[in-house]
Amino acid sequence: MKVVFMGTPDFAVPSLREIGKSNHQIISVVTGPDKPRGRGQKLSKTPVKEAAEKLNLTILQPEKLDSPEFSKQIEKLEPDIFVVVAFRILPESLLQIPRKGAINLHASLLPRYRGAAPINWAIINGERETGITIFQIKPEVDTGEILYQEKIEIKEDDTAGSLHDKLSRIGAKALVRVLDMVERGEVKPIPQNEKLATYAPKIKPEMGRIDWSKEAKNIKNLIHGLSPVPGAFSFFKNKRVRFLKANIEDTGTSYSPGTIVYLDKKCMKIQTGRGLLLPSMLQTEGKKPLTVTEFIKGFRGNTGDRFIS
């Protein structure tokens, strides 16, 4: 089939590559415009554009998806199907163009965790499993009929970063299977159960502020759900410290939440509202992430000192 692929971030790149290796033909790649980034405000390409260039694919970077000019460009290509991975909301005028409609890869088991940040919220909420869903796109976000789902376990040491990479690889291979099924007319769309719908709103940096009065397991889930970015954080002697990975112990002390109750060359234990948090990866402002052993070498703190929310 003739595929128009639409995507922007790293999550979409494995899907582009897998479809590129398949029997289906990517006739164009639609991605976001180059944007100025960093200190020098140098124009930067999207990860999907960089991958598409290496595959020698035609690239379109419209400012507006609902412009008549862009619609005409797509119509001339005569696509069989759109494949959308981590992209913008498509206007109805575009959705009417492909012969076999448009499909989307979403990083949750829909209808749970509709929205912008399903991977983060699954970990923050302490879910033990998640997965990918491939569904037919409708005008309402993440509500279309389900074509395929695949579950995976969320492991104790998973972060948003590690889960992102796993799901992007699983989703990429699943997309090729679904495209094959669409071509053969074998898909059996299943409507989503609206009563089971939950939502995963966009993550904002301030959500990462650690409340030490909460249970250790909830703080750990927040840390892993926001790692590597934007990162859960707290303050020590007026300096922001980002917590990127952690373990927990059920034991507790009489110290106030946020207090360092144990410190040696290889381990730090912090009192929470219930249980102890043992950070294993941390980062101070302007520095690279460090293991707890590396962090402690330069740490100017002692047992009894406190992290402040």
Q: What is the DSSP string of 68-130?
A: HHHHHHHHHH--SEEEEES-PPPPHHHHTSSTT-EEEEESS-TTTTBSS-HHHHHHHTT-SEE
Calpha distance 28→31 (Å, rounded): 10
Q: Which amino acid is at 308?
A: I
Query: Do 241 and 112 fall within a single domain?
Result: no
Whether the predicted pLDDT of 228 surpasses 80: yes
**pLDDT (0 to 100) of residue 38:** 75
Query: Do 222 and 94 fall within a single domain?
Result: no
Dihedral class, residue 279 (left if φ above 0, else alpha if ψ from -120 to 50, else beta): beta
Calpha distance 218→277 (Å, rounded): 10
- Which residues are CB-contacts of 105 (< 8 A; sequence separation ≥ 6)? 15, 83, 84, 85, 86, 132, 133, 134, 171, 174, 175
pLDDT mean over 243-248: 99
Query: Do 220 and 138 fall within a single domain?
Result: no
Q: Please indicate, yes or no, whether the overall pTM of this predicted structure exceeds 0.85.
A: yes
Q: What is the pLDDT of residues 134-143, one digit of tens each?
A: 999 998 899 9
Query: Do 179 and 129 fall within a single domain?
Result: yes
- Asked, for residue 306, whether it belongs to a domain, the answer is no
Query: Do 94 and 217 fall within a single domain?
Result: no
Query: Do 158 and 55 fall within a single domain?
Result: yes
Question: What CATH number does residue 185 fall under?
Answer: 3.40.50.170
Question: What CATH number does residue 292 fall under?
Answer: 3.10.25.10
Query: Do 108 and 251 fall within a single domain?
Result: no
Whether the predicted pLDDT of 17 surpasses 80: yes
Question: What token pair was written down for 282?
Answer: 């941390």
Query: Do 184 and 222 fall within a single domain?
Result: no
Average pLDDT value over all residues in the chain: 97
Number of independent structural domains in the chain: 2
Query: Do 257 and 173 fall within a single domain?
Result: no
Q: Which amino acid is at 288?
A: K
| Strand 59-60 to 25-30 pairing | parallel
Q: What is the pLDDT of residues 95-139, one digit of tens each?
A: 999 999 999 999 999 999 999 999 999 999 999 999 999 999 998
Q: What is the pLDDT of residues 70-88, one digit of tens each?
A: 999 999 999 999 999 999 9
- Asked, for residue 305, whether it belongs to a domain, the answer is no
Calpha distance 11→32 (Å, rounded): 14
> Are 281 and 289 within 8 A, CB to CB?
yes
Q: Which helix (H) or strand (E) covers residue 265, if one does?
A: none
Q: 177, 196, 215 — which closes off a domain?
A: 196
Whether the predicted pLDDT of 286 surpasses 80: yes
Q: What is the pLDDT of residues 249-282, one digit of tens each?
A: 999 789 999 999 999 999 999 999 999 999 999 9
- Which residues are CB-contacts of 269 (< 8 A; sequence separation ≥ 6)? 249, 260, 261, 262, 263, 276, 277, 278
pLDDT mean over 139-150: 96
Q: What is the pLDDT of residues 193-225, one digit of tens each?
A: 999 999 999 999 999 999 999 999 999 999 999
Calpha distance 249→269 (Å, rounded): 9
**pLDDT (0 to 100) of residue 67:** 96
Query: Do 180 and 290 fall within a single domain?
Result: no
Q: How confident is the model at residue 162 (pLDDT cuts 50, 70, 90)?
A: very high
**pLDDT (0 to 100) of residue 296:** 97
Question: What token pair was written down for 247?
Answer: 């373990």
- Asked, for residue 126, whether it belongs to a domain, the answer is yes
Whether the predicted pLDDT of 24 surpasses 80: yes
Rg, Å, the chain Cα set: 22
Q: Which amino acid is at 96?
A: Q
Calpha distance 258→307 (Å, rounded): 5
**pLDDT (0 to 100) of residue 252:** 77
- Asked, for residue 264, whether it belongs to a domain, the answer is yes
Of 24, 27, 31, 28, the residue nearest 7 (C-alpha) = 31
Q: 168, 196, 224 — which closes off a domain?
A: 196
**pLDDT (0 to 100) of residue 85:** 99
Q: How confident is the model at residue 9 (pLDDT cuts 50, 70, 90)?
A: very high
Q: Which helix (H) or strand (E) covers residue 185, if one does?
A: none
Which residue intervals of the chain are DSSP H helices?
A: 13-21, 47-54, 68-77, 92-95, 118-124, 160-184, 216-225, 292-297
Q: What is the pLDDT of residues 26-70, one digit of tens each?
A: 999 999 999 987 777 788 999 999 999 999 999 999 999 999 999
**pLDDT (0 to 100) of residue 39:** 73
Query: Do 185 and 255 fall within a single domain?
Result: no
Whether the predicted pLDDT of 303 surpasses 80: yes
For residue 169, the enclosing domain spans: 2-196
Query: Do 189 and 225 fall within a single domain?
Result: no
pLDDT mean over 12-20: 99
Q: 164, 196, 228 — which closes off a domain?
A: 196
> Are 15 and 7 within 8 A, CB to CB?
yes
- Asked, for residue 303, whether it belongs to a domain, the answer is no
Q: Which amino acid is at 18?
A: E
